[in-house]
Amino acid sequence: MIVTTGLTVPEGEISETIGIVRGNTIRAKHIGTDIVAALRNLVGGEVGEYTKLMAEAREQAYDRMVAHAESLGADAIIGVNFTTSMITDGAAEILAYGTGVKLKR
């Protein structure tokens, strides 16, 4: 599966647009992570626990987007974007989306 933020696919010519493909996940913070983050706020620096949590959430949303595209028969996904929104205090949604396309063979 070719995945790009661009609107063209260098590896081939687009023959058909399938439509929007997406994948999402909602992740909540863990109390232990909050305690470590609060301590980190005192001394400064990156909150690695949250960085890891968000990276894992992005990967899961990405994987789900690719699976959605494959289920529709897409060869590639163009115009890929990620967005994050807060669902409730301590929980956020990560959404990966783009346009599924077929390539000329």
Give the pLDDT confidence score for residue 77 in this predicted structure: 98
Give the pLDDT confidence score for residue 105 in this predicted structure: 80
pLDDT (tens, 9 = 90+) of the chain, 105 residues, equals 999 999 999 888 999 999 999 999 998 876 655 566 666 666 677 777 778 888 999 999 999 999 999 999 999 999 999 999 988 877 889 999 999 999 998
Q: How far is CA 11 from the centre of its chain?
A: 23
Helix (H, G, I), strand (E, B) or coil at 73: coil
Residue 65 is classified by DSSP as: H
The pTM is what? 0.85
Give the pLDDT confidence score for residue 3 in this predicted structure: 97
Tell me the backbone φ, ψ of residue 83, rounded to 5 degrees.
-140, 150
Give the pLDDT confidence score for residue 70 in this predicted structure: 98
Helices (H) and strands (E) in the chain, counts: 2, 4
Give the pLDDT confidence score for residue 87 in this predicted structure: 85
